Amino acid sequence: MVPAIQISNLRKRYGSVDAAKDISFQVEPGQIFGLLGPNGAGKTTTLRCLCSLTTPDAGDIEVCGVSVIQYPRASRQLLGYVAQEVALDKVLTGREMLQLQAALYHIPAKAIPQRIAAIVEQMGLQDWIDQKTGTYSGGIRKRLDLATGLLHDPQVLVLDEPTVGLDIESRVVIWDLLRQLRDRGTTILMTSHYLEEVDALADRVAILDRGTVIATGTSSELKDQVGGDRITLRIREFTPPDEAERAKSLAQSLPFVQDVLINQAQGNSLNLVVTPQSDALLTLQQALKESGIPVFGVSQARPSLDDVYLAATGRTLLDAEIAAASSRDPKAERKQNMR
Ligand SMILES: Nc1ncnc2c1ncn2[C@@H]1O[C@H](COP(=O)(O)OP(=O)(O)OP(=O)(O)O)[C@@H](O)[C@H]1O
């Protein structure tokens, strides 16, 4: 079967920044594929290259077997792209926005009312479509964005952070809509930096870090690969570094402890990887007590996608986000993206 999306050795530089160093992954038709990674990992850049909004420096991209580099126009017909922030003209109604978009996609004038009616029903927008978009809540705006991306009935829907900034109820509505689309045969490629979103939605996941793919698979395959249980230990709300080091040495001496990391972004809490066994927590707490080290909080869990990221990069997604946020210049990026 021809993959819905095939990205091979994609490279894109902005000045001295390698936004995409060497990105390869494949999306099968009818799947939801999640690109997970912290801010700055290269997710948006990958989507922009895929949708021929920017030209890669190297690599191949195909959509349903059509080369994006050689046939950008034909490949764009196969794709619906919903950017992270879509500028809405607040004085237009949702229907007027869709009519404008339909004209941009060259949908025949006769077919437009029927196509809009179908998509409005599919997105559950009947009550809002004739109101001005300036009155919309974030969740309704996002549904209109999806409707816009789906208007020309693309085989592949590409979504950049589809629920960023939405409250949990609106996010769940969007998740349900995306599942319905997938069940009707639309392939969806979405980026997210929400672990639980990717876990809940994606059939397969690629984790990106600093412009490269560090892991690909189903969410449970990736979690199985890292193995072991996770114990998060907080000694104090903000633990002094020397005390964290002391607790780390102590934990390392326990036979069931495989690995220990000090998480500076979380007040020097400790992340332990342990061989699953029922008395691990109790034994750890006992050992800490005997050494006079207090316990502010401790919990044990199966690995998460964050643990997959941590195992591959030595830092949590949150750490990476904080580091990335301080090194970016959003104004300059926006300016460059307008060109
Ligand atoms: N137009 C641009 N001009 C200059 N640098 C850019 C531009 N676009 C992206 N970058 C840089 O490339 C790197 C990857 O950015 P990208 O937006 O692809 O990451 P991301 O994973 O999508 O993060 P986010 O979700 O925050 O957009 C970052 O270091 C970013 O600062």
Atom of ligand 1 nearest to the CA of 337: 1
Q: Could you give the ipTM of this predicted complex? A: 0.95
Distance of CA 98 to the CA centre of its chain: 27
- Split at pLDDT 50, 70, 90, the class of 106 is confident
β partners of residue 12: 20
- Split at pLDDT 50, 70, 90, the class of 233 is very high
Task: Look at residues 32, 6, 2 and name the one whose alpha carbon lies nearest to residue 204.
Answer: 32
- Split at pLDDT 50, 70, 90, the class of 9 is very high
Can you tell me the mean pLDDT for 66-72?
96
Q: Name the residue at shortest CA distance from atom 17 of ligand 1.
A: 44
| Cα–Cα distance for residue pair 47/10, rounded to 1 Å | 11
How many A from CA of 308 to the centre of ligand 1?
22
Can you tell me the mean pLDDT for 81-86?
85
- Split at pLDDT 50, 70, 90, the class of 298 is very high
pLDDT beyond 90 at 13: yes
Distance of CA 275 to the CA centre of its chain: 29
Copy the structure tokens of residue 232: 């998060």
Distances (CA, A) of 289 to 212, 232, 246, 263: 43, 16, 13, 21
**pLDDT at residue 195, as a whole number:** 86
Share of the chain above pLDDT 90, in %: 73
Q: Which of 173-182, 201-210, 272-281 has the lowest mean pLDDT?
A: 272-281
**pLDDT at residue 171, as a whole number:** 92
Q: Name the residue at shortest CA distance from atom 29 of ligand 1.
A: 40
| Cα–Cα distance for residue pair 209/74, rounded to 1 Å | 30
Q: Name the residue at shortest CA distance from atom 13 of ligand 1.
A: 19
Q: Name the residue at shortest CA distance from atom 18 of ligand 1.
A: 42
pLDDT beyond 90 at 39: no
Copy the structure tokens of residue 99: 């009519």
Copy the structure tokens of residue 56: 């890669």
- Ligand 1 pocket check: which of 11, 13, 14 to mutate, most ligand atoms within 8 Å of Cβ? 14
41 lines ligand 1 (CB under 6 A): yes
Can you tell me the mean pLDDT for 46-60?
96
315 lines ligand 1 (CB under 6 A): no
| Cα–Cα distance for residue pair 59/62, rounded to 1 Å | 10
Q: Which of 21-25, 42-46, 179-183, 319-323 has the lowest mean pLDDT?
A: 319-323
Atom of ligand 1 nearest to the CA of 328: 31
294 phi/psi in degrees, rounded to 5: -75, 165
Which is more confidently placed, 278 or 243?
Answer: 243
State the Rg of the chain over Cα. Answer: 23
| Cα–Cα distance for residue pair 227/223, rounded to 1 Å | 7
DSSP 3-state assignment of 144? helix
pTM of the model as a whole: 0.83
Task: Look at residues 254, 232, 61 and name the one whose alpha carbon lies nearest to residue 156.
Answer: 61
- Ligand 1 pocket check: which of 81, 333, 335 to mutate, most ligand atoms within 8 Å of Cβ? 333
Q: Where are the alpha helices (DSSP H) in 211-277?
A: 219-226, 241-252
Does residue 187 contact residue 204 with C-beta atoms inside 8 Å?
no
**pLDDT at residue 96, as a whole number:** 95
